[in-house]
């Protein structure tokens, strides 16, 4: 079983593959293939069009239709750093020790997907969209390139995490992937679906009554060129798309996430 799939499945995340199959997955050992892991921060499963949601997500829907869509996948935490640590290690939070975005760091002794891939001869790179995954918190271990925000903690005068748009993150990832001659593993993290919701035009107009759905639609648009690049590369690429957690959206009195652990914030 391909390492990335094994780790993602062990972490309980949604996995899509370019396999063209509708039945149960048949994992084929192929030495010369790449791995593209995409994590969409704060992506509640039932917002995607392919899950019956309101957001227009043609790129992710096409990936789901041509691969494997998990209908009952759950994150192991409702905040960014602990959940991503589970994705990257295949371990529960009580095992890897990262329990919140603040005050914790991924221990050097914890084995990660990127370290295993690097040891297997893959070039490795990560491109992250927001401060909670800054290198100072430990997720950079095993990556040759770790493209983060350089330690910026808050955005302006607002009490919000510093972030950058998905298109900027994807552009950096595409530039690196385009330079690779051998096998590679790339992790691309986009943060736009996280509050505060401010989708750019025209997505703010398409979902005028639902800014969160507009952000998700924008993320889908931004990921399109990256998925196209993976499809037309010189070797097969296994693509895994998941989320670190969902969003409350008013369910159980929670507008966003980080407090309760209901389906709204755990199902991805």
Over residues 226-261, the pLDDT tens digits come to 999 999 988 899 999 999 999 988 788 887 887 889
β-strands 145-147, 34-40 pairing? unpaired
What pLDDT sits at residue 8?
Answer: 40
Tell me the average pLDDT across 89-114.
82
In this prediction the pTM is: 0.85
The position carrying tokens 């302006």 is 156
- pLDDT band of 43, cuts 50, 70, 90: very high
Please provide the average confidence, as pLDDT, over all residues in the chain.
84
Going by pLDDT thresholds of 50, 70 and 90, the confidence category of residue 23 is low
- pLDDT tens by residue, 10-20: 333 334 334 34
Peptide bond into 196 cis (omega under 30): yes
187: helix, coil or strand? strand
What's the whole-number mean pLDDT along residues 69-96? 91
The pLDDT of residue 159 is: 42
Structure confidence at residue 161 (pLDDT):
67
Q: Residue 49: which residues within 8 A CB-CB, separation 6 or more?
A: 55, 56, 57, 58, 60, 61
The pLDDT score that the predictor gives to residue 155 is 45
Q: Which residue has the higher pLDDT, 99 or 114?
A: 114
Q: Average pLDDT, stretch 155-182? A: 82
Q: Which of 76, 74, 23 is nearest to 44 (CA)?
A: 74
pLDDT recorded at residue 140 = 85
**pLDDT score of 5:** 40
């Amino acid at each position: 079983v391909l390492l990335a799939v094994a780790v993602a499945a062990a972490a309980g995340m949604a996995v899509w593959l370019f396999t063209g199959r509708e039945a149960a997955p048949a994992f084929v050992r192929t030495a010369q293939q790449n791995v593209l892991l995409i994590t969409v921060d704060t992506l509640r499963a039932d917002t995607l069009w392919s899950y019956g949601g309101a957001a227009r997500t043609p790129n992710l829907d096409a990936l789901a239709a041509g691969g494997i869509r998990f209908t009952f996948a759950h994150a192991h935490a409702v905040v960014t750093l602990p959940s991503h640590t589970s994705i990257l290690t295949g371990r529960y939070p009580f095992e890897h020790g990262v329990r919140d975005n603040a005050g914790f760091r991924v221990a050097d002794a914890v084995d990660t997907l990127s370290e295993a891939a690097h040891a297997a001869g893959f070039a490795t790179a990560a491109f992250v969209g927001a401060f909670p995954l800054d290198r100072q918190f430990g997720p950079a271990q095993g990556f040759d390139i770790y493209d983060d925000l350089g330690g910026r903690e808050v955005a302006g005068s607002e009490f919000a995490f510093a972030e950058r748009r998905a298109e900027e993150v994807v552009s950096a990832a595409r530039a690196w992937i385009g330079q690779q001659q051998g096998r590679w593993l790339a992790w691309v993290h986009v943060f736009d679906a996280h509050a505060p919701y401010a989708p750019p035009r025209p997505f703010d107009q398409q979902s005028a009554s639902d800014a969160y759905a507009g952000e998700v639609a924008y993320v889908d648009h931004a990921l399109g060129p990256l998925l196209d690049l993976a499809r037309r590369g010189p070797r097969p690429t296994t693509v895994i798309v998941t989320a670190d957690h969902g969003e409350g959206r008013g369910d159980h009195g929670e507008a966003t996430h980080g407090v309760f652990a209901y389906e709204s914030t755990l199902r991805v």
